[in-house]
Amino acid sequence: MSSNPTLPQLEASQEALQQFLQTLLNQEVSLQPGTLASVQRDQLNELASDRVLIWASSEPFAIGLAPDWIPMLSQAMLGETLNPGDEGTTDLLSEVAAQGYGALRNALAAQGLRLPEVTFVVQQPDAGAAQPPVELPASLLHLPFTLQVGDTQHEGFILLPPEAAQQQDSPADPSASSSTEAAAQSPVEVRPAAFSELGPERIGDGGVKGNLELLADVELEVVVELGRRRLPLADVLRLTTGSIIELEKLVGEPLEIYANGRLIAEGEAVVIDEQFGVRITSLVTGNRQREKTLF
């Protein structure tokens, strides 16, 4: 293995995955990455010898987990202990990988980095040689990590394509450096900003400004929230036809009305010609309107 590359957004990725695992396991955990290194494709069989491999089906990306992850995850999600090779472990690991990858995608999207959508293929530890579902490059990035749960450590690693890293010692684009230097040497003309004059405001019928009348036909999504509830992933996986979810809202509490995700009013449910509706009982303004959102 050779060490040199670094991963952009590693801290954001670590925080997102740690929060995901903490929610999944319903207890405090610590996720610590190791040293990123380059590995050759022919070293994968050695890395995979005692690991569960979870391959991305369409990308050169994989997660390797020590076998002791399976009983920990199955107990948290299913309420029973499974071991490597047991029926249900493949679906369990695929679901965990999909949920964790989704959390990672959301976190990195907020940082301006978009990951592709993928599905996952699970390879059990007794499967022998590494069996990637896609052609892998000659070298990959290997990032080990340790999950601390109480007094127990669970080991794993991630395999990434080499383009996921940025080298420490060389600029990503040499021409960018020369362009920056040239720009620094060129004189820059500075002048006050000039704006065209705005037309006079026209007050129309009902006190609505004329220019705002152009927005009258813009459609806003209005949502009435009956209630909400946070559930552990294990409880969500157990949902079936006939299951009942108890909402965190008391009988008689007003319903909340949102426009484009922003709280605007409260009301009560009514029935209009066999359809549900809502009668507004109060409008929401001020700080509460600014701070309360649907998502």
Running DSSP on this structure, what letter comes out for residue 67?
A: T
- List 106's β-bridge partners, or say none: none
**DSSP3 helix / strand / coil % (the chain, rounded to 5):** 30, 25, 40
161: Cα separation from own chain's centroid: 20
The pLDDT value given to residue 68: 95
Beta bridge partners of 52: 65
Q: Quote the pLDDT of residue 226.
A: 84
Q: Residue 132 is encoded by which pair of tokens?
A: 């990637």
Here the tokens at position 84 are 């490597």
Do the strands 262-272 and 5-6 form a parallel or antiparallel pair, or are they unpaired?
Answer: unpaired
Q: What is the pLDDT of residue 262?
A: 83
- From CA 189, how far away is CA 74, in angstroms rounded? 65
pLDDT score, position 166 = 59
Cα torsion angle, 39, 43, 47, 53, sign: positive
**Spatial CA neighbour of 10 closest among 118, 108, 90, 105:** 108
Q: Nearest-5° angle of CA 269, CA 241, CA 27? A: 90
Q: Which is nearest to 165 in space by CA: 36, 47, 58?
A: 36
Give me the residue label for tokens 């509706």.
277
The CB density around residue 158, as the number of other CB atoms within 10 Å, is 21
pLDDT of residue 12: 85
* Span(s) in the chain for CATH 2.30.330.10: 218-291
For 275, the 3-state DSSP assignment is: strand
User: Which SS3 state, helix, strand or coil, does residue 48 take?
Assistant: helix
Residues of the chain with CATH 3.40.1550.10: 5-167
Question: What's the pTM?
Answer: 0.56
Ranges in the chain, pLDDT < 70: 1-8, 166-216, 286-295
Question: Is the CATH number of domain 5-167 3.40.50.2300?
Answer: no
- Closest by CA to 158, choosing from 77, 82, 62, is 62
User: Taking Cα atoms as reference points, which of 96, 58, 51, 101 lies closest to residue 75?
Assistant: 96
Residue 287 pLDDT: 63
Contact, 149 vs 47, CB < 8 A?
no
Q: Give CA–CA dist 247/245, Å, rounded.
A: 6
Q: In degrees, to the nearest 5, what angle opens at C-alpha 101 toward C-alphas 100 and 105?
A: 120
Right CATH number for 218-291 from 3.50.50.60, 3.40.50.880, 2.30.330.10, 2.60.40.10? 2.30.330.10
Residue 45: both structure tokens together: 């069989």
Q: Which residues pair with 282 in a beta bridge?
A: 266
